[in-house]
Amino acid sequence: MSAKTRPEILIIGGGIGGVAAALALARRGMRSRVLEKAPEFGEIGYGIQQGPNAYRMLDWLGVMKELEPQAVFTKNLILIDALTDRELTRISCGEPFRRHFRAPYTVVHRRDLHGALLEACRKREEIALHTSKDLVSFADRGKSVVATFADGSEYEGWAMIGADGLRSRVREILIGDGPPQPVGHVTYRGVIPLDQVRDQSHFDDMVIWIGPNLHFVQYRLRGGTVMNNVATVVSGKFARGERQDYGGPEELAEVFSRTTPDVQEMLGYVGKDKNWVLHDREPRPGWTRGKVALLGDAAHPTLQYLAQGACMAIEDAVVLSGKLEKAGSEVDAALRAYEQERYLRTARVSLIPAPLRSGYSFFLSLFRHTIQTKPAQKPTNSTRKMAVASVLGSTAGSGAWACADAKRNEAIDPARNLFMAGFLKGRSASGHG
């Protein structure tokens, strides 16, 4: 059966991962039906960073042309000590960076990114889009999958992709490993007009102010017309066992109270009436069974510290579509091959930033475990750069990524994967996950 004459694939969830998957399948001539629970497709109104890995795939998906006028091309990634205002390091995203990663570092508004993907989906006859479809259950009937929704409707697909996010119903049925766990970190966000930002010295950069148990991220969006602000704290209340009510605005102010007056002033740029209590899962295999596979946060929730969760979902979409294109009648094998290719890569991305979570310890940890050879060695600016680059490089799209360009299928770095497999085995033996 050729890809074009195959029956359609069901995609549960129309977030960034779901619509990217539909577009990637269409790009390879396959039909799909996206079934979204919400009454409308959409994204929340804040920013998203796109490493060069995501840029290359979005380009392959054909949406970068539409997205580029809205995107901001980051000049530098800068880390600043939030207690002293001292610049710790910066990575230039200029020509050498672009050459190395074969793409720029960009930041976009989530609605612009999701909107560009959705618009592209709307233009493809291979894609059907539905809202108000809340998946309740599914049955894998061997030759097809039948999905049942809360409104009583049923759809049959050649395969089914669960792209239904952090609290995935598809995952609940497939793996059943319970809800994601709170990690004790709370985030506040805000997008404000540019003229309301007092310090304009970093307008072309993505800046992170880091300090003990906190960080503050800032970058421009929408062609540079507005500023995205994100403040995150690691809650002391949560660490002391107060699980019901933690990370409120008063704790935000308390954790930031040792930062410079400039950083404290920036707290005024984030809304206090809403926050995001962050949740996580240990990496765990088993995202595919029969004709059903998970994708994006449903498969591997990724905290924001490397700004790669959505990038990983887009990578998943491209890799999965490639496997299905070549599947013939072997759908189950193609889905297994997809998980095999993606599992260690996504596990690495979700586990690497663990030290970043508490601000300062990010550097200490990197120096001790990655860069520093002698314990007493003082970090120089170049070792700092190497440390940050090693983290960025591991995600930003060097050797480890299976390329979006179908003709350039880069091999996954076997040494890194061997290390990661051993590491994950060690973690589960010591009681993680």
Ligand X SMILES: Cc1cc2nc3c(=O)[nH]c(=O)nc-3n(C[C@H](O)[C@H](O)[C@H](O)COP(=O)(O)OP(=O)(O)OC[C@H]3O[C@@H](n4cnc5c(N)ncnc54)[C@H](O)[C@@H]3O)c2cc1C
Interface residue list for ligand X (CB under 6 A): 12-18, 35-38, 48-49, 133-135, 163-166, 169, 187, 276, 296-298, 302, 304, 307-311, 313
Cα distance between the two ends of the chain: 41
Closest distance of CB 165 from ligand X, Å: 3
Shortest distance (Å) from residue 339 CB to ligand X? 15
Q: Which is nearer to ligand X, 3 or 173 (CB)?
A: 173
- DSSP label of 359: T
Contact indicator for 198, 265 with CB cutoff of 8 Å: yes
Beta carbons within 8 Å of 233's beta carbon, 6+ residues apart: 185, 186, 213, 214, 247, 251, 252, 255, 256
Q: Which is nearer to ligand X, 206 or 371 (CB)?
A: 206
Going by C-alpha positions, the residue among 146, 155, 70, 170 that lies closest to residue 115 is 70
Q: How far is the CB of 131 from ligand X (least distance, A)?
A: 9
- 18 in Cβ contact with 34 (< 8 Å): yes
CB of 67 vs ligand X, minimal distance in Å: 14
3-state secondary structure of 113: helix
Q: How far apart are CA 249 and CA 26, in angstroms?
A: 45
**Nearer residue to ligand X within complex by CB, 14 or 247:** 14
Do 158 and 144 form a contact (C-beta atoms < 8 A)? yes
Q: How far is the CB of 347 from ligand X (least distance, A)?
A: 14
Residue 211 CA, chain-centre distance (Å), reads: 23
Q: How far is the CB of 236 from ligand X (least distance, A)?
A: 20
Closest CA to 206 of 220, 226, 224, 192: 220
Closer of 266 and 311 to ligand X (Cβ): 311
Place of tokens 């759908």: 331
Of residues 88 and 160, the one with the C-beta less far from ligand X:
160
